[in-house]
Amino acid sequence: MRIRPEKKWGLVPLCLLMLLALAHATLPHTLRYLKSGSPVYFADSDDTDLYLNYSSHAFHHGGLALKDPITDSVGTFVPDTQLMPFVLAAKFLGLHPTHIPILWRIWAGISLALTVFLLLRLLIGSAWAASLSGAILLTDAGFLSASPFLRQVQVALQLAGENSESLLSIFPQIHLQWRIITPGLSLGVLLLQITFILSARKQEGHARIALAALATGALFYVYFYFWTAALLALGLCFLVDRSARALYAKITVLGFIIGAPALFMSAALKKNSHPEALPRLDFFLPIDRFSEFLIPKAAIATIFLTWILLLKLPNNRFPKNIFYYPAALALSALLLLNHQTLTGLQIQNFHYSYVYGPIGYISLLAIGARLLISLMGERKVIIGLALTSIITIPIGFYTRAIESNKTKESIALLDAYHIAKALAEGAAIPISSDIIAGDIKIASQLSIQRGLRPYAGMMLSLSPKISDQEWNDRLSKNSAIQGMSRASFQKEQEAAALHYPWGKWGRDEALRHKLFDDRIASFDGSMQNLLTTIDEGKIRWIVASRNVPSLWSEFFDNKNFRIAAEKNDWLLIERLTNF
């Protein structure tokens, strides 16, 4: 049975999908507002210590480009295109930087709903089927792992039982489709690129080819893993879809030309960065070619089944040509997941899951829906999808709510936010670029709220100008400055340094032991002359525990330090000397 042609793309089903996705994406903020009257919510340390610190620094200190708050210099490893629009939007709307995450998730909900609908509408051919399919996948915990329904059921049963600790003990890890910045802020660009390519494949024309090329070029400015997978996918389609070789060649060449300036900017940033900065976090780190393989079984099964169906289905009964590119894109990302066999490099390869997971899921779901419509008719399939969504969507909201309310890192970050807010108000900290040291979570929140520059923390690891030695020393000195005892620091580093998973240390036990010894030595050196350590770091503010050791008492006896504010067990200490 042929699908009934529709002149309209389906405004009503699109709007309903957008409302649903918006509600699911912003559910954590909604729950916080209902509970406390404030919508402020932070998912994980990536939200606060990285993306919100970058954003707040630009918010407080101006400019149209992101700066590295550690060194206060232009140039970060995070694309401006992903964060600056929300900084400018927050300023325009008169919001506080702590409200920027709300804008992130509003955009995630709207952009993913819109682009998922447009893509599924092209692939399936029915607006209501596209809307219902989109509702199912956008609320499915298995969306990013290409495991339709299975992970959703597994997660729901685990949360309902007594074994939920592993899901909630660290950061949010259930509905990763709303993770910031990827895929929440950027996946929509990739989905739009797929849609434009399929539109051009369906009916060639100069305007459609131009849109497909522009979208392909845009990927270079958004996410490394998107454009690399896209170029390989276009190459695969050139081999498989012979009748459209000229189309794929045009899109590839024009897209590369559009994206080339982004490559030059990245090369310039890398050239001006410290050579140890990127490898420190597994970016362009040389590794053994036949090591560190990633084998995502669910995704492999999904993508394998997708290609079996595409190859077996008859051309005269199924529109294969519009499915080749998304299927090739999922396969390309899966292949690039272990590119070290050719390149000998680790580039945090697991990030390719943000391509093969959702695109593999969408491809298989769309093929299934299209096949069923041809066999059963559009109306029956829509009814079946509606009945399925009645079951899956409530489960998706249930698991999202539990994740939002009970994940330990999210709770800890919110506690740090309230403490930092009280300390900032108590000390009347002005907006400035002064440096703050001490407790990482609270110092990070004070940086966000008052534009301060963090002395240590996750952002230090990603700072382009920082060497491994300075990174290591700052971490150790920060612990000494906040008043940590040697025994406590040693115990902390036995867990942190001796099990550090990133960079060259993650591959060499001897280097991890040296990392541990260097940190202890740096800590001991700082403790011998803490005042010099503070002044050399030009540190103005310090977040320390109320139970600081007696060495702090000598500082309070002179006029160079004061306790500026107190909250619960925390002190905000100000160094009064001008640097």
Q: What is the pLDDT of residue 549?
A: 55
pLDDT in tens, 190-224: 999 999 999 999 998 999 999 999 999 999 999 99
Instruction: Name the helix (H) or strand (E) containing 75.
Output: none
Share of the chain above pLDDT 70, in %: 96
* Distance of alpha carbon 439 from alpha carbon 449, whole angstroms: 15
For residues 298 and 162, the model is more confident at 298
Query: Which H, E and C letters describe 149-162, residue by residue?
Result: CHHHHHHHHHHHCC
pLDDT in tens, 359-389: 999 999 999 999 999 999 999 999 999 999 9
Tokens representing 83 are 């964060």
Q: What is the pLDDT of residue 551?
A: 55
For residue 403, give the nearest of 76, 25, 28, 12 by alpha carbon: 28
Q: With b meaning 16 or more CB within 10 Å and e meaning fewer, what string describes 186-205?
A: bbbbbbbbbbbbbbbbeeee
Task: Fill in the DSSP letter of residue 434.
Answer: -
Query: 407: which strand partners?
Result: none
pLDDT in tens, 514-543: 999 999 999 999 988 888 899 999 999 999
Please, are residues 470 and 485 in contact by the beta-carbon 8 Å criterion?
Answer: no
Q: What is the pLDDT of residue 555?
A: 62
Averaged confidence pLDDT in the chain? 93
The yes-or-no verdict on residue 4 having pLDDT over 70 is no
Residues 6+ apart with CB under 8 A from 408: 168, 169, 170
Q: What is the pLDDT of residue 1?
A: 40
The yes-or-no verdict on residue 345 having pLDDT over 70 is yes
Lowest mean pLDDT among 66-75, 98-107, 373-382, 409-418: 66-75
The yes-or-no verdict on residue 185 having pLDDT over 80 is yes
For residue 280, give the nearest of 459, 521, 438, 439 by alpha carbon: 459
Confidence of residue 564 (pLDDT cuts 50, 70, 90): very high
Q: How far is CA 14 from CA 110, 121, 138, in A?
A: 10, 10, 13
Q: What is the pLDDT of residue 579?
A: 60
Report, as an integer, the average pLDDT of 536-558. Answer: 75
Q: What is the pLDDT of residue 315?
A: 81
Amino acid 538 reads K
Report, as an integer, the average pLDDT of 339-352. Answer: 97
Triad 210, 12, 322: Cα angle to 5°: 40
pLDDT in tens, 259-269: 999 999 999 99
Confidence of residue 339 (pLDDT cuts 50, 70, 90): very high
Please, are residues 386 and 378 in contact by the beta-carbon 8 Å criterion?
Answer: no
Taking every pair of C-alpha atoms in the chain, what is the biggest distance, in angstroms? 87
Prediction pTM value: 0.94
* Distance of alpha carbon 452 from alpha carbon 462, whole angstroms: 17
For residues 529 and 298, the model is more confident at 298
* Distance of alpha carbon 126 from alpha carbon 384, whole angstroms: 14
- By the 10 Å C-beta count (0-12 exposed, 13-18 middle, 19+ buried), 462 is classed as buried
Please, are residues 555 and 576 in contact by the beta-carbon 8 Å criterion?
Answer: no
The yes-or-no verdict on residue 561 having pLDDT over 90 is no
Q: With b meaning 16 or more CB within 10 Å and e meaning fewer, what string describes 485-519?
A: eeeebeeebeeebeebebbbbbbeeeebeebbebb
For residue 347, give the nearest of 285, 276, 267 by alpha carbon: 285
The yes-or-no verdict on residue 248 having pLDDT over 80 is yes
The yes-or-no verdict on residue 74 having pLDDT over 80 is no
Q: What is the pLDDT of residue 105?
A: 98
pLDDT in tens, 421-459: 999 999 999 999 999 999 999 999 999 999 999 999 999
pLDDT in tens, 462-502: 999 999 999 999 999 999 998 888 999 999 999 999 999 99
* Distance of alpha carbon 438 from alpha carbon 50, whole angstroms: 17
